[in-house]
Amino acid sequence: MLATGCTGFLDKGPLTSPSGETFLSTENQIFSYVNGLYMALPSLSQYGSGVRAVEKNSDNIISEKYNPRINGELTQFDGQTDWSSAYAALRDVNFFFEYYQVSRDHETDDMLSLCGEVYFLRAWWHFTLLKKFGNIPLMNAFLDENATVEGLQIPATTRDEVARFILSDIDEAIRLLHRREVYSGLRISKEAALILAMNVALYEGTWERYHSSDEFSVSDPQPEWFFRKVMEYGDELFGIMPVSQGLNTLENDPFGAKNGGEAYAHMFNQKDYSAVPEAVFWKKYDVGRGVQHSLTVLLGSGIVDNEAAAGITKSLVDNYLNEDGTFICPYDPKFKDFNETFSGRDPRLTEIVMSSGHKFRSTSITKPMKVAAYRYDDTAEAEAHNSAINPPRFNGDGNGRNLTGYHTALGVDTTYVSSSFWDTGLVLIRYPEALLAYAEAAEELGICTEEVLSKTIRALRARAGVAWKEPSADPNFTDYGYPLTPNMQEIRRERRSELALQGFRLDDILRWRGHKVLTGQRGRGAYIGEDGVLFHSFDKNDQFAMEALGNIPKDEEGWADPLRDKLPSGYGFRPDRDYLLPVPPDDIALDRELKQNPNW
């Protein structure tokens, strides 16, 4: 019984500072302090695009303000913010463990669950550092008493041991936490911890496998151990939340979805996910209480990246299957027709990328996108036809200008009410992450059976409304620089499709050693050749529109090539260096035990 409490974490002496012996000794104090720890977690900005624009750091979004890391432009000092913010959050977490003063006979289930939340958060921030820096000093205790130069000579722990430490913290969290149903997903839960554990184990396992012979390898790689952990955690999760309950499908969607695509889209454009188990952990916004963001109004206005003109890439669009489960051929001439690009495709594509029929939003109109050839005959019919045309905003201003023809649809509030700010919820952990991790780990272990595919990849496609086809080799699949099995192609395709514009893509490229999709590449957009309907959806008598179209760089075949002139050789990502961020030089100067990451 004594071993199950939270207070056994450290053998602590009498508390003398900073706030007296009663600090963090009552449920209200603990509840308030833990709430404060949530503030450091990802959230949507009141004035920015947030997570929907993050993937300009990958091959999913092209932005004029491209991510400097993928172009090899970072300096030795560019890891400072990521390093400092994560360690600051860890200090706050360990403060809790140091000053938690509740006797075991007063530890309620609610208090223990709060302890579990703190273990989760310590794992979260160590995982954040692991992904960005690799080998890092563990912060597994409150170190303020070590705040001298000699006291802070702390060597980095190897990344594989860091990953194992993270999993041990999550194991404690899993043991202590309430189930999702207790707080309706608004607080960290047992299910959220299981999914985080799966993501950690998958990340480290794939890193150790694909980086086994480069500058970023570990001395004794054991990827299979981590892959087995993914499946162990997954089996535990599926035992308490089966797939039939964990996915928001057409049959159980509480928001009135008319098809599988809408059931998927509703995970990104609704205000309250309390009754949606797929939203395992989510953040609620409330305009009335001043907790708000501007993501929806930005997206509905056509903005892909609030910092600069941008657009979704053709590469992401090409990733999606046909609705009947067959591959597309991205070189098929039919895709020169913008509308044909979306016809008969995976319904998630039209929920992620705006196509004809999807509404933009402004404070005055909700006119849908419509791409159609402009008519020049002087008739009422032609006038009505032309007035309905609303093509991608190639001729927009500033960050409202689209570079590729592909606008972001994911997260647009389809109620289209008038307001300056918005309060759609942000889902931080979704159930599909577990399905994708489980399938990938199984395939890495060589045990991805029909049963595994059925409850993971096949279930996700069924929710979306995509027919299932037995995996076979796709000759046009994304080239990561090495061969993949047909199963792995489909698992990686499904991961990119299901998690698009949610902040996962760069981490996936890094752990897969997939620099070939970045180095020397720069992405393309829609076809804007003069024989295409997209070009003809602009009035040739509109001088401004024609100038805007003429200013869009194109490749030799007529596809939009927005960064052609800015990055003529493509992104300059350096495979020998840029897989990890640089350890801040100031910290290396302070802690002589630290070593710089390779080639920085």
Q: Is 152 helix (H, G, I), strand (E, B) or coil?
A: coil
Joined together, the tokens standing for residue 66 give 């491209």
581 and 132 Cβ atoms separated by less than 8 Å: yes
339 and 389 Cβ atoms separated by less than 8 Å: no
Distance CA 180, CA 241 (A): 10
Q: What tens-digit pLDDT sequence spans the chain (600 residues)?
A: 234 467 554 444 333 344 545 679 899 999 999 999 999 999 998 888 889 999 999 999 999 999 999 999 999 999 999 999 999 999 999 999 999 998 888 899 999 999 999 999 999 999 999 999 999 999 999 988 777 888 889 999 999 999 999 999 999 999 999 999 999 999 999 999 999 999 999 999 999 999 999 999 999 999 999 999 999 999 999 999 999 999 999 999 999 999 999 999 999 999 999 999 999 999 999 988 889 998 988 998 899 999 999 999 999 999 999 999 999 999 999 999 999 999 999 999 999 999 999 988 655 667 899 999 999 999 999 999 999 999 999 998 899 999 999 999 999 877 766 655 688 999 999 999 999 999 999 999 999 999 999 999 999 999 999 999 999 999 999 999 999 999 999 999 999 999 999 999 999 999 999 999 999 999 999 999 999 999 999 999 999 999 999 999 999 999 999 999 999 999 999 999 999 999 999 999 999 999 999 999
Which helix (H) or strand (E) segment holds residue 427: the answer is strand 426-430
| List of residues 6+ apart from 245 with CB closer than 8 A | 277
593 and 600 Cβ atoms separated by less than 8 Å: no
The predicted model scores a pTM of 0.95
Q: Is 359 helix (H, G, I), strand (E, B) or coil?
A: strand
Distance CA 70, CA 583 (A): 18
**Closest by Cα among 98, 171, 83, 175 to 129:** 83
> Vertex 31, ends 28 and 33: CA angle to 5°?
105
| List of residues 6+ apart from 517 with CB closer than 8 A | 59, 315, 478, 479, 480, 509
DSSP string, 266-330: TTTS-S--TT-TTEEEEE--BGGGTB-B-HHHHHHTT-S-TTS-EEE-HHHHHHSPBTTSPPP-T
Handedness of CA 26, 28, 33, 38 (dihedral sign): positive
Distance CA 485, CA 27 (A): 52
